[in-house]
Structure 1
Amino acid sequence: MILPIIAYGDPVLRKETVEVTPDYPNLDKVIENMFETMYEAHGIGLAAPQVNLPIRLFIVDATPFEEDEDLSDEEQKFVSTFKRVFINARIIEESGDEWAFNEGCLSIPDVREDVFRQPDIVMEYQDENFKKHKETFSGIVARIIQHEYDHIEGILFTDKLSPLKKRLIKSKLINISKGKVGIDYKMKFPNAKKKR
């Protein structure tokens, strides 16, 4: 089932998320719906708060990057099969020199900006079967994970922009919250005028 993606300005995107337990109701279905929703919106990652669930869950599918000519052959091979579910994730280390990459977000359509992030992360998380993992991720995969991880921490990529950039996109963000944006996927806007 395709779920509406929550737009910028909704308080759920800023909420403190709670841990997911193995008895969480219909978790398999939630994950399945999130993948279906993400693919419908042509995304590469989606966090539970973006579908109105303030829980520590996000999904990533980096396979669209397998054709990216800027990636090394090794990176292309890695992203070509990288599809994961992250439950109760914690980044325990970030390292390396920050690098800029043009990021966007399904909750903030039509806004793309360069965001600086460190290239390497060490993360602890559980998969969809609640098996524990501790892994190191690098490059574009680390960036996608960091972006989605920020969502479960109540952080948006626009928070990482300079004060000037924030001022320049302020009116766009207000319009997004009101539903004044052209999109081809289902969204819920916090400040849209109700039709009478």
Structure 2
Amino acid sequence: MTERQIRIFGDPVLKTVSDPIRLTDDVAGLITDLLDTVKIPGRAGVAAPQIGVNQRAFSFNVDGEIGYIINPVVVELSGDPELVDEGCLSVPGFYFQRMRYPFARVTGVDLEGNAIELSGEGVMAQALQHETDHLDGTLYIDGLEKTLRREAMQAIRSSDWF
């Protein structure tokens, strides 16, 4: 398979709730594409909607660990939410502070249908929350404090790519 082009803010697939995946032969191609696309340096995660596929899967690349999960469900968020700098491949060139939990745990399955669990703190917790949000049709800018979100939208609308 191959690295896929990232869909940019404004593409309707990014605001659509993704469909659960039924494990069939064509899912392996999607997972390969997600893994190939997340391997690019500087990428912590890529959700299927970001490559134009309305299905519940994402890949991650955190601290040298690359992997994926199918049909993830957030089962735990803990700690006091804290402000973190966050960006998104689908909103290129921008980073804004938003609240995220310092620990996250998700469950899902692999290509063989085996149950898997991903969890972590710091960047991994942030990635798990961010990528799962994508699958629910939510962009990180949707979670910004109201005044900051307004400023962010003005900056995005002024960008060269918008």
Please confirm whether the aligned pair reaches a TM-score higher than 0.5, indicating the same fold: yes
* Cα distance, 1:174 vs structure 2: 2.6
What CA distance in whole angstroms lies between the structure 1 residues aligned with 2:121 and 2:76?
Answer: 12
Q: 1:93 aligned to 2:66?
A: no
Which has the larger share of strand?
2
Preserved CA contact (<8 Å) 2:35 2:67 = no
Q: Which residue of 2 aligns with 1:151?
A: 134
What CA distance in whole angstroms lies between the structure 2 residues aligned with 1:166 and 1:114?
Answer: 10
**How many pairs were matched up?**
161
1:1-196, aligned counterparts within 5 Å?
A: 1-23=2-24, 25=26, 27-40=27-40, 42-63=42-63, 80=64, 82-175=65-158, 180-181=160-161
Percent identity over paired residues: 26
Q: What is the RMSD of the two structures over their aligned residues, measured on CA atoms?
A: 1.9
For structure 2, list consecutive stretches of 5 or more residues without a partner in the other structure. none
Preserved CA contact (<8 Å) 2:105 2:125 = no
TM-score normalised to structure 2 length: 0.89
* Cα distance, 1:12 vs structure 2: 0.4
- Summarize deviations over 1:6-62 as a string: whole Å, max 9, x none: 10011100111111111152x222222222223347311000000110100000010
Larger radius of gyration: 1
For structure 1, list consecutive stretches of 5 or more residues without a partner in the other structure. 64-79, 182-190, 192-196
Preserved CA contact (<8 Å) 1:85 1:128 = no
* Cα distance, 1:147 vs structure 2: 0.7
* Cα distance, 1:129 vs structure 2: 2.6
Question: Which runs of at least 4 in structure 1 moved beyond 6 Å after TM superposition?
Answer: none
What CA distance in whole angstroms lies between the structure 2 residues aligned with 1:131 and 1:92?
Answer: 17
Deviates more, 1:90-99 or 1:146-155: 90-99
| Structure showing greater relative contact order (alpha-carbon pairs closer than 8 Å, 6 or more residues apart) | 1
TM-score normalised to structure 1 length: 0.75
What CA distance in whole angstroms lies between the structure 1 residues aligned with 2:10 and 2:140?
Answer: 13
